[in-house]
Amino acid sequence: MKRQLILWISALGFSTLFYHQDLGLNMFIFAIIAVIVVYLAHREAFKRVDMRLSTLLYLLVSLFVFTNHSALAICMSIMSFIVFAGSISGIRNAIYVQGLNGLYQTFLGTLHHHLDPKKEKKATKTSKKRDYGFILLCILLVIGLPVIFASLYRNINPIFEKWIAAIDLSFINMTWLLFTCMGYVLLRNISSKASLDILTNIDRETPQNLTKKPISEEQESLLHKEQLLGSMVIGVLNALILFFLIVDIWYVANNTFQHASELSKTVHEGVNALITSILIAITLILIFFRGNLNFYKKSKRLRILTYIWIILNSVLVIVTTLKNYIYITDFGLTYKRIGVIIYLTLCIVGLCTTYFKVAQRKNVLYLVRINARIAFFIIILMSSFSWNREITRYNLSQVKRPDLSYLESMGGNNIDLLYAFAKAHPEKFSTESHLHIQNKYDVYMKTLNNQTWQSKTLAGMTIPPSVDSKTYSNEK
C-alpha cells in the first residue's frame, strides 16, 4: 500500500509538471522524482557503480534541458532515462543492451512480472497480500457499467435524459486524468525490475578477451604467412601515410587560406577521406588480429607496425583538427564545423581503443562495447552546451565578418543576442533583416513571458526584459 501511495503521488507530480507544459525545469524535477521512486523500490541496485553512474548522467542531462534547452539536450535526456531504467537489471551489460532493457522496462516493466514463467512465487503464510488488480477491476466495473447503461437508458426515456443532462461533470478533466494514469504506469514500470533475459544473459556471458587455441604445424605455417602479409600491408600503409603527412603539413604551413571555399574543401573532404581510411585500416587490423595471430610469437613486427600506423593516423587527425581550427577562427563556428570536431574526437577514440584491442588481445565485442559507451558520454558532453547561443556569441564577438544570414536562420533561443547586436550595429543589417529580427524577438519574448514555472529555462530567465518595438525602430 505504501508503494502504491508513493506511485500515485508521483503520478500527480508527473501530470502537474508536464500537462500542457513545454519542456524545461520540469524535466529535471521529474528526473529527481524518477530516481527517488526507483531508489525506494530497488535500493540494492544503487550499490553498483554502473547504476550510480547512469543515475548521475540522467540527472545531469536533465539539468542541461533547464540550463540550455537545446534539442540535443532533450533527446539525450530521454535516452539517458532509458539507459537509467535499463541499468536497474543491466549488470555488466553494454550500453546498447541497457538501452533495449530500458525500453522494455519503460513500456512493459509491470507486465514482465506477471508474464515471466520463471518467476518465484513467494508464499506468505503470516499475512495475506491484497489483490490490487481485483480492487481496480471492481472500481472500473462499479463505475464504468452504470455510466454505459445510463447513456443507453437516456435514449429511451426523455425524463431520465433530462435528469442525466442536469448532472454537470465538466469539472472532471478526463485528459488530465488519463495523463496522470500514464504517469503512474510509467513510474510503476520503471520501478518494476524487468529485462530481456536472453539478450541480457548472452551479452553478460560473452567474453571480451581472445583465448589461445592449440595449433598444428600446418596452422602455424598459415599464421606465418598471415603475419608476413599483414606486415607488408601495414608497412606500405605506414609509408603512404607518412608521405601524405609531410605533404599535408607543408601545405598547411605554407597556405594562407584566404578563400573560405578552399579551406572548406580541404577540411570537409579531408575529414570524409580520413574517416573512410581509418575505418578500412581498422577493418584490416581486425582481420589480421582475429585469432591465434594475437598469440603467435613471431608477430612482434606486425604489432610494432600497427602501433606506428595508429600513431601516424593520430598525427593526421591532429593536422586535420588544426585545419578545422583555422577554418573556425577565420570564418566562424557552424554546426558542420562542430560536427567535424566530434568526428575527429571519435576517430582518436577509435584509434586508442584499437591499440588496446591489439595490445591486450581483445575481441571485436570489446571495441563495440567500449566505443558505444564513450560515444554516448561524448554526446552527453556536447548536450551541455546551447550551441545556437555559443555559435552566435562566438561569431559576433570573434569573427570580423560573421555570416549574419546563417545566424538569423537558427532557432529562436539565440535571438536576444542577435537582437542586441543589431541594435548596436544597425548598419550591418538590411531593413528586411531588421524587421525579421524584431518579429522573431517579439515572438520569443512573448513565449517566455507566457511560460509557467514548469517550462522555465535558465537561458530564458537570464534574458533582459524586451525593448519596445517603436524604440528599436527609431534607433534603427
Max intra-chain CA distance, the chain: 100
The single-letter DSSP state of residue 465 is P
Cell numbers that stand for 366 in this block = 570489446
Alpha carbon 76 to its chain centroid, in Å, reads: 3
**pTM confidence score:** 0.79
First to last CA, the chain: 66
Nearby residues of 385 by Cβ (< 8 Å), 6 or more positions away: 68, 70
Cell numbers that stand for 431 in this block = 531593413
d(CA 339, CA 342): 5
d(CA 18, CA 26): 7
Q: Where are the domains of the chain?
A: 1-115+133-208, 227-362, 389-475
Residues 182/18, Cβ–Cβ less than 8 Å? no
pLDDT at 410: 83
Cell numbers that stand for 379 in this block = 554526446
Q: What is the pLDDT along the chain (476 residues), one digit of tens a residue?
A: 577 788 888 888 888 888 888 888 999 999 999 999 999 888 888 888 889 999 999 999 999 999 988 889 999 999 999 999 888 877 778 888 888 888 888 887 777 665 555 544 443 444 455 555 566 667 767 777 777 777 777 777 777 777 777 665 555 666 788 888 888 888 888 887 777 777 778 887 788 777 777 776 677 788 888 888 888 988 998 999 899 889 888 877 777 655 555 666 677 777 788 888 888 888 888 888 877 777 777 888 889 999 999 999 999 899 888 888 888 888 889 998 899 899 999 999 999 999 999 989 888 888 999 999 999 999 999 999 889 999 999 999 988 888 888 888 887 788 889 999 998 888 888 888 888 889 888 888 888 888 888 888 887 777 765 544 444 444 54
Backbone angles phi, psi at 209, to 5 degrees: -100, 140
Residues 18/454, Cβ–Cβ less than 8 Å? yes
Residues 419/437, Cβ–Cβ less than 8 Å? yes
Tell whether the torsion through CA atoms of 178, 191, 63 and 349 is positive or negative.
Answer: negative
Backbone angles phi, psi at 207, to 5 degrees: -75, 160
d(CA 470, CA 476): 10
Going from the C-alpha of 419 to that of each of 119, 251, 385, 416, the distances in angstroms are 62, 40, 21, 5
The single-letter DSSP state of residue 155 is T
Cα atoms found within 13 Å of the Cα of residue 293, Cβ hemisphere only: 24
Which amino acid type is present at position 39?
Y
pLDDT at 203: 80
